[in-house]
Structure 1
Amino acid sequence: MRKSRQLKNPEQEVRIFRGRALLAACLVVALTAALMGRLVYLQVVQHEVYITRSEKNRVRIEPLPPTRGLIYDRNGVLLAENRPTYNLTLVRERVEDLDATLALLVELLELPDAEAEAFRERSRQRQRPYQPALLMSDLSEAQIARLAVNRHRLPGVEVEAQLLRYYPDAEIMAHALGYVGRINAEELENLDAGNYAGTHFIGKTGVERQYEEALHGQAGLRQVETNARGRVLRELGRSDPVPGRDLTLTLDKELQTLAYELLDGRRGSIVAIEPASGEILAMVSAPGFDSNQFVTGIDVTSYRALQNDIDLPLFNRAIRGQYPPGSTIKPFLALAGLAEGVITPDTVVRDPGYYQLPNDSRRYRNWLRWGHGRVDLERSLAVSNNTYYYTLAHELGIDRIHERMTRFGFGQRVGADVFGESPALLPSREWKRGRFNQPWYPGETLSVGIGQGYWMVTPLQLAAATATLANRGTTVTPHLARAVGEEPLNLPPDQSPIVLDNDQWWDRVYAGMEEVLTGHEGTARRTGAGLEYRMGGKSGTAQVFSLGQDQRYNAAELAERLRDHALFMAFAPLEDPQIAVSVIVENAGGGSTHAAHLARAMTDAWLLEEEAPEVEELRERIDNDDATVTGN
């Protein structure tokens, strides 16, 4: 009999069900425990970590840039100010699609192609994480309005109200003040990250660069609450920035303006110094340029135009222009000859119109080809006799000339706070050996004796040397700052005055320089007509190219840029010098006419507080003198 088959086993099914249910329950309990454990870990153990992260998403620290210090002239006239403006900034880390955002900004701002490329380049400039990059300055009202309407489409983009540097007399003051500009990647690497956080501009040249630390100030911070898109909702706290200190310069705005107008569009420089203090009263290089263009970022077309301008408006001739000093150095050489015992005030040289070295057939000519006859010290300065100084230079020799001229500051930087100054060149035997691997020749000493050859000076150097001459050997350090904040600029006193064996030698040199302007043979006698004070000066003519042995200089036959440079140095009054001036006008011909009149106008304005003659009147005087007066 076959056994019946059991189709169901209820007990087994119950056991299976109970096992599965228990397993499921255990799994649920385990997962619940893991979840609860994770929650406890996040809420309790990692509480501080995640609350900090949360706060960072909701609260952020923003830098507050300081207000840049203002710049004034010696009389309190404002030369560099800050005006309110709106800038466009971008934090790259908060932008999801940088290319799309930039394309939208270019469209909203209506930028031309050339500016659009520069705009994109600025967005890629290296920046510290979460620091705003400056894309554009000085937004117009229309641009601000379009950005505000589309703000929801521009996460990470902000319009910030800031103060922007502005120069009221940009062209006149450009080279002396310098300018500020956007911080570039190289500067960013070397700046204090904390102090310059939020700052987009830095001094690039001139006084702005020299006194950057004082003018910049100290950055502050503020704590703000933001929404999920990074927009500021409210301010939670702040540490205010410390404004930059104001700067008072030694410059006199009126005298600076006069100097620029006197140059009348010609290439050149005028520097005026107060001999007693070394304060620079005026320091002009012409032509100038609009320095305000560089603050917001000059466009490519305008910058190329300045770079390609044949007159080099970006070149600071006052401190970097190097010119042969010509006959302006004759008073300094005369003092060197007296100090070294090579000449006395009464030494007479016979001038036949030329000088010859021993055993040399070459003739080194005086500017007056038939000569001045018997020439003593004072007359040598009044008529600017070359033969006298050929003789003196040969007897002194290049070694003693170099040593004595170094004491007057030639061949070295003389300014205390003049950024970018060139030392120019005072040649020596060692210099030539190192530069050309050649010996020094006697004929080169003669060229140096009349301020030609290798010798080069800057207008600032020449003015500083003139101030030392006016001070009877007491040297002062030319400087542009009078006070930084409330602190006056204190310079160390002169430690190495030039002392002569006989103090009357200064008077004899002064007498010759006065004869330049008032003597009947003086090279600048027309300039000195009607002087109301005693003034000493010396004209100079710097050759642009050398003439052959028997060639004669004829300006009318030369292209304008091949003509001689005109120089003049002067100080006044002789008995109590208040101003020392150097003037260089490129390719203007003889210094006894063009440059001398400009120097006289400067001293008149400073000493007599008179307005200078109109430019047209001055130009007419110069033209008349060019036709009647000769000399260098």
Structure 2
Amino acid sequence: MPAKRMTIKDHTAEANLFARRTVVALLIVGVMLSVLVSNLYVLQIKKFQDYQTRSNGNRIKVLPVAPNRGLIYDRKGRLLAENRPVYSLEIVPEQVEDIDGVVAELSAMLDISDDEIKDFEQSLKRVRRFKPVALRSRLSEQDVARFAAQQHRFPGVSIEARLTRFYPYADALTHVLGYVARINKKDLQKLREAGQEDNYAATHDIGKQGVERYHEDLLHGEVGYQQVEVNSQGRIIRVLDFDPPTPGQDIVLNIDIDLQMEARKALEGRRGSVVALDPRTGGVMALYSNPSYDPNLFVHGISSKDYSALLNSPDRPLINRATQGQYPPASTIKPHLALVGLEEGIIDSETTLFDRGRYQLKNVSHVWRDWKKYGHGQVDVVKSVEVSCDIFFYDLAYRLGIDRISDAMQQFGFGDYTGIDLYEESDANMPSRGWKRARHNEPWYIGDTISVGIGQSYWTATPLQLADSLMALVNKGSRYVPQIIRGNLVDDEVQLQPVKELRPIPVKNEENWDIVLDSLYGTVNREHGTARSAFSGAHYISGGKTGTAQLFSIGQDEEYEEENVAKHLRDNAMYIGYAPIDAPEIVVAVALENAGGGSSNAAPVARQIMDFHFRDRTFDSLVLNPQDAAEDNESQ
């Protein structure tokens, strides 16, 4: 077998092959380097600004800054709601080696409760270690001083101050001002729907009731922002820019705090309310509901125990009786019905009726009784209001009918919201045929109409509605929306809110106003007027109307004896009044729950309010009612 021949290597060919491969490799490397350099050019030069902005976003944060809430003043410039500094003890966890030990020492020094320690421990689990966590809020000045003397022993622990709402008059203004409290999930949802969530990014509290809630848009202000540089852990290193927040507007109310405090004093120990309006503008000078509560309890978070006590109290202090209390208006609406009767031609100034103390319809066995057992004898429309004759108004209501009564009373605002700048308001109830059918699935009976004639049956009204309706009477039909806010405070000057007028009540005969106002004058100033005793000796002349609201039915042959009636079923005392008689500047409505007669209980409260209002006023000559002045001249 022939031997295998050895292949001779071609070194020249191999060298050429290696050279070609080297060139190809160098070209590939060159292309890749070109791509890399091109990308570096794009990143570092062409798109430098874009990527620098993105990089700054990683190390620069924009943080919201909460605005200071606007202050609230009364009509004379007294501060009603302010912002006070509150001191809290805060710990930065990463700066404290032995948190448990430090907490124990601080607890012994500042008497920190177990609940506060428990809340602190729970907060530690939710917060990053470089952020401060409050161990105790609302430190006293003594606590602050005590810690300051020992602060060098506690690195990572500090006292921080922030502004919180404070109400210096406490329970005297709760149902007017309301209060602020922590923003909850429901509040956040409303803010999102209104597109206001960003404006509350740094805010902890929001108005929950009263003026604080209704005028939240004025009081809150606009959020500010600060640009800060942070490290990779999110810790703030320095502040780069600051856009300050816009504080909320300071507002001035129509409330006179002195008059408000007098109303509080007058209702001490009694359930009820007082409303005082300026009939010239509708301004709310006083609005007090008793019992009340301290709104400061809600600012920092009320305890479950305290809230349960308020919620379950039989006196229902959480209800604003002035705007939400629904009471039978009783005889306080007799002047209004008198006007309707005059306007409809059912009665005139000469119409008389003999009151024997009983009223009965033909072929009807039921007897309606007067509050005075044997009646008032011969009465006309003016005297029937003065002595509060029930029989006259039973008959008037029967002849008018519920349809005309309901339509006319709605013009005075009964059964509707007054429009006051509070969300906490009831429209109460002005009954009608349709209402009873819808509510009780029953027809309207004649007996229902007769009871409506003295402000009973299904008719209910709030004290604010009563004051509002009296304001329409003394203004001879002109109506204004009751307003708590007076204006905004700008550079120490009050920019007044416009007076809100409603459509006036039309009448066919302007003299009918004078007849009704004469009856209100007589109620207070004539011999048999039901409020004469309450206003005896007053240094001003006023007009008004008493009312006693019966809360349960009495059998045909039964007598009402207060001492035998359960306290919660006793009559409500009502009164509406105004002064001075010739140029009214205050209208007052008083409602006292289960207090008894309006003339002996509610009218004296109204007298106390009016006396206080006119305390510094002198009247050179008391202006009598024109009719009485003429009679006096004739007698002379």
TM bucket (normalised to shorter chain) is 0.7 to 0.9
3-state DSSP class of the match of 1:242?
Answer: coil
Alignment of 1:535-546 (within 5 A): 535-546=542-553
Is 2:297 the partner of 1:293?
A: yes
Q: Which residue of 1 aligns with 2:483?
A: 479
The one of 273, 277, 280 aligned to 1:273:
277
**Residue 616 of structure 2: aligned partner:** 609
Counterpart of 1:489 (choices 474, 494, 497) is 497
* Equivalent residue letter for 1:460: L
1:182-221 equivalences under 5 Å are 182-191=182-191, 192-221=196-225
Question: What is the DSSP-based 3-state SS (H/G/I as helix, E as strand, rest coil) of the residue aligned with 1:583?
Answer: strand
Of stretches 181-190 and 501-510 in structure 1, the one that deviates more from structure 2 is: 501-510
Q: CA deviation at 1:390?
A: 0.3
Alignment root-mean-square deviation, CA: 4.0
Cα displacement (A) at 1:247: 0.6
Change (3 A) 1:58 1:135: farther
Q: Which residue of 2 aligns with 1:7?
A: none
> C-alpha offsets along residues 389-432 of structure 1, whole Å, 9 cap, x if unaligned?
00000000000000111111111111341222111111111111
Deviation at 1:505, TM superposition (A): 2.2
- The aligned residue for residue 629 of structure 1 is none
CA contact (8 A) 1:517 1:528 kept: yes
- Relative distance call for 1:39 and 1:419 in structure 2 (3 A) is same
Distance 1:245 1:107 in 2: 43
Structure 1 pair 168–200 and aligned structure 2 pair: CA distance change class (3 A): same
Q: Distance in 2 between matches of 1:445 and 1:102?
A: 74
In the alignment, structure 1 residue 504 sits paired with structure 2 residue 511: yes
Give the whole-Å Cα distance in 2 for the aligned partners of 1:247 and 1:197.
24
Report the alpha carbon displacement of residue 265 of structure 1 after superposing the two structures with TM: 2.3
Give yes or no for the alignment of 1:522 onto 2:523: no
Secondary structure in structure 2 of the residue aligned to 1:280: strand
**Which residue does 2:353 correspond to in 1?**
349
Normalised by the length of structure 2, the TM-score is 0.82
CA distance in 1, matches of 2:532, 2:447: 32
User: SS in structure 2 opposite 1:497?
Assistant: coil
When structure 1 is superposed on structure 2, of 478-487 and 243-252 the one drifting more is 478-487
Q: Which residue of 2 aligns with 1:62?
A: 63
Counterparts in 2 of 1:104 and 1:54: CA distance versus 1, 3 Å: farther
Map of 1:317-396 to 2, 5 A cutoff? 317-396=321-400
2:415 to 398, 411, 420: 411
Equivalenced residue count is 578
Q: Deviations over 1:477-520 (max 9, x none)?
A: 111111024432113433x3223333232222222222222222
Shift in CA distance, 451/116, structure 1 to aligned 2, threshold 3 Å: farther
Q: Using the aligned pairs only, state the percent identity.
A: 45
SS in 2 for 1:138: strand
The answer to whether the aligner puts 1:590 opposite 2:597 as a matched pair is yes
The alpha-carbon distance between structure 1 residues 456 and 80, as it changes in their structure 2 partners (threshold 3 A), is same
Structure 2 SS opposite 1:344? coil
SS in 2 for 1:592: helix
Residue 539 of structure 2 aligns with which residue?
532
Query: Shift in Å at residue 377 of structure 1?
Result: 1.1
Contact 2:281-2:499 at 8 Å conserved across structures: no
Structure 2: state its 5+ residue gaps.
Answer: 1-17, 619-636
Superposed CA deviations along residues 358-413 of structure 1, whole A, max 9, x for unmatched, are: 31010011111211121111211121111110000000000000011111111111
Q: Which residue of 2 aligns with 1:163?
A: 163
8 Å CA contact 1:280–1:480 kept in 2: the answer is yes
Alignment-derived partner of residue 440 in structure 1: 444
Measure how far apart 1:73 and its partner are: 0.7
Give the counterpart letter for 2:175 in structure 1: H
Give the whole-Å Cα distance in 2 for the aligned partners of 1:452 and 1:338.
Answer: 21
User: 1:597–1:106: structure 2 CA closer, same or farther, 3 Å change rule?
Assistant: farther
Question: Per-residue CA shift, 1:15-65, capped at 9, x if unaligned?
Answer: xxx9xxx9xx99xx99x989x889959974986677556534543222111
User: Which residue does 2:181 correspond to in 1?
Assistant: 181
Q: In 2 relative to 1, CA 435–484 (structure 1 residues): closer, same or farther, beyond 3 Å?
A: same
What does residue range 304-319 of structure 1 map to in structure 2 within 5 Å? 304-319=308-323
CA contact (8 A) 1:250 1:480 kept: yes
Q: Tell me, which stretches of 5 or more residues in structure 1 are unaligned?
A: 1-17, 612-632
Q: Secondary structure at the match of 1:319?
A: helix
Cα distance in 2 between the residues matched to 1:265 and 1:569: 21
